[in-house]
Amino acid sequence: MWRKRFIAFILLLAGATIGYFVYPSEQKTMMPFGDRPFKYGLDIEGGTELVYEADTSKIAANELRQTMAALRDVIERRVNLFGVSEPVVQTEEVNTLSGDSRQRLIVDLPGVTDIKQAVELIGQTPLLEFKTERPDGEEKTKIREAYTKAQEDLKKPGITDLEKQIIFYSEPLLQEDPNFLPTALNGSKLAKASLIFDSRTNEPKVLLTFTDEGRELFASITKENIGKAVAIYLDGAPISTPTVREAILDGNAEISGNFNIQEAQELVGRLNSGALPVPIVLLSTQTIGASLGERALTSGVRAGLYGVLLVALFLILWYRAPGIVATVALAIYIAVMLAIFKFIPVTLTAAGIAGFILSIGMAVDANILIFERMKEELMKGKDIADAMHDGFARAWLSIRDSNVSSIISATILFWFGTSLVKGFALTLGLGVLISMFSAITVTRTFLYSLGTHGSGKVVRFLFGSGLK
């Protein structure tokens, strides 16, 4: 018995200690862990959300996932260079009404409320491409004719900007370069960029060093185009069109675009921070003010507090002694969950807080199943100790099955859901896992530590429920 009470005391002390450190860590005091506040999402902390669409029309279907992952990594590195606090960069596939699928990039910048500043943080991350000369023929002629006709149409008097866009986008041939053909060599195959100077003219140049895959592609391109121009495009515009004299096998290429030193340094920095594997277009921006986020946080915390107090009151009034034990176990559960949120850390959004509050209800649900099974065993005339043991044993299967199904649902939501749904799924899944420990281990340890035996009126009243 003393062993059970000692374990119960350790659990109680551990819960109190965790709760003791959760509070000062939020207040940023000089105490241990005093510099670990909760990590809040964009909808609570405030900031800016940018939505981009990626042009993946020239990407093979089997390379789409890899390309979008590379795009996300590049933008993430780009944002991190500017010290934005906990940016979130993610990709998603959107199906249109016409049945097409579009790849989008969503960038959340907590704490950044100036849209112009947010767009500048992303910056014009360069799209680096290598193109070879387009051979003369019918296709080249058609493209040139399409460009000539478009130029004539654009010169018509009174034409609006919308009409100009219609002219440009309605003709597929206008999306093609009449002089050069795209190759598989682009910024995703770049290992690093360096600033160098011409030994004769002292002109600044940019030296490109490719990855192993890029080295093989560049060697193949230069070998097949000796005596021809290979154009280097940056953000859709040619910056250098050198003529290949001989095959280049070492995987290095020089860009001499008549740069000054500052321009060359900026280009090197942009390339090293990540050259985009595909072009992106800004679709929409959204700014969330800190006051709106603060109201969402306050409302969520208030709802959780009121909910916990009402649940605790119900447990104590309806289940008496087990209800008091369940309330203590619930307090430990909340302290453990908040500590996990801090030390993983988990980004708390309004949806995530809702998932946490829902998990509190599920933790209580497990206790109710146990207590109802205990009451049924007491009604059979069993001793309170036997009723506890059999009650936990009978309730375990129901608790296990319901929680496993909840964990499966949370996993599916997290795997396939958007960022908003993922926050809900993560907190719910963690809550269900911890609640199983709280209901089965903590509550049972506390009840066993009471050392109650017999089946007298007092015992039956303390461990009964409702009006019985």
Q: Give yes or no for residue 371 having a pLDDT over 80.
A: yes
3-state secondary structure the chain: CHHHHHHHHHHHHHHHHHHHHHHHHHHCCCCCCCCCCCEECHHHHCEEEEEEEECCCCCCHHHHHHHHHHHHHHHHHHHHCCCCCCCEEEEEEEECCCCCEEEEEEEEEECCCCHHHHHHHHCCCCCEEEEEECCCCHHHHHHHHHHHHHHHHHCCCCCCHHHHHHHHHHCHHHHCCCCEEEEEEEHHHEEEEEEEECCCCCCEEEEEEECHHHHHHHHHHHHHCCCCEEEEEECCEEEECCECCCCCCCCEEEECCCCCHHHHHHHHHHHHHCCCCCCEEEEEEEEECHHHHHHHHHHHHHHHHHHHHHHHHHHHHHHCHHHHHHHHHHHHHHHHHHHHHHHCCCEECHHHHHHHHHHHHHHHHHHHHHHHHHHHHHHCCCCHHHHHHHHHHHHHHHHHHHHHHHHHHHHHHHHHCCHHHHHHHHHHHHHHHHHHHHHHHHHHHHHHHCCCCCCCHHHHHHCCCCCC
Are 162 and 197 spatial neighbours (Cβ–Cβ below 8 Å)? no
CA distance 226 to 415: 49
CA distance 116 to 119: 5
Length of the chain: 468
| Burial (CB count within 10 angstroms: exposed 0-12, middle 13-18, buried 19+), residue 433 | middle
**Of 375, 276, 327, nearest in space to 76 by CA:** 276
Calculate mean pLDDT across residues 221-233.
87
Q: Give yes or no for residue 398 having a pLDDT over 80.
A: yes
Q: Give yes or no for residue 151 having a pLDDT over 50.
A: yes
Mean residue pLDDT of the chain comes to 78
Model pLDDT, residue 57: 80
Are 403 and 435 spatial neighbours (Cβ–Cβ below 8 Å)? yes
User: Where do we find the tokens 């495009």?
Assistant: 233
**Rounded to the nearest 5 degrees, what angle is found at the Cα of 152, between the Cα atoms of 146 and 157?**
145
Strands 101-110 and 47-54: antiparallel
The mean-pLDDT minimum among 20-29, 56-65, 92-101, 109-118 falls in: 20-29
Model pLDDT, residue 311: 85
Model pLDDT, residue 159: 73
Within 8 A by CB and 6+ apart from 330, the residues are 308, 311, 312, 315, 360, 363, 364, 367, 438
Q: Give yes or no for residue 31 having a pLDDT over 50.
A: no
Q: Give yes or no for residue 468 having a pLDDT over 60.
A: no
Q: Which residue has the higher pLDDT, 389 or 270?
A: 389
CA distance 187 to 317: 67
Give CB contacts under 8 A, 24+ apart, made by 291-295.
291/46, 292/46, 293/40, 293/42, 293/43, 293/44, 293/45, 293/46, 294/44
Calculate mean pLDDT across residues 405-413.
88
Percent of the residues in the chain that have a pLDDT greater than 90, as a whole number: 1
Provide the phi-psi class of 258: left if phi over 0, else alpha when psi is between -120 and 50, else beta. Answer: left
Model pLDDT, residue 29: 47
Model pLDDT, residue 466: 56
φ/ψ of residue 32, rounded to 5? -55, 140
Model pLDDT, residue 30: 45
Model pLDDT, residue 85: 55
pLDDT class of 460 with cuts at 50, 70, 90:
low
For 106-116, the pLDDT digits (tens) are: 888 877 767 77
Handedness of CA 133, 139, 145, 150 (dihedral sign): negative
Calculate mean pLDDT across residues 32-41.
65
For 420-438, the pLDDT digits (tens) are: 677 788 888 888 888 888 7
* Entry pTM: 0.57
Model pLDDT, residue 323: 85
Q: Give yes or no for residue 307 having a pLDDT over 70.
A: yes
Tokens of 60: 């093979």
For 58-86, the pLDDT digits (tens) are: 787 887 887 888 788 778 766 765 555 56
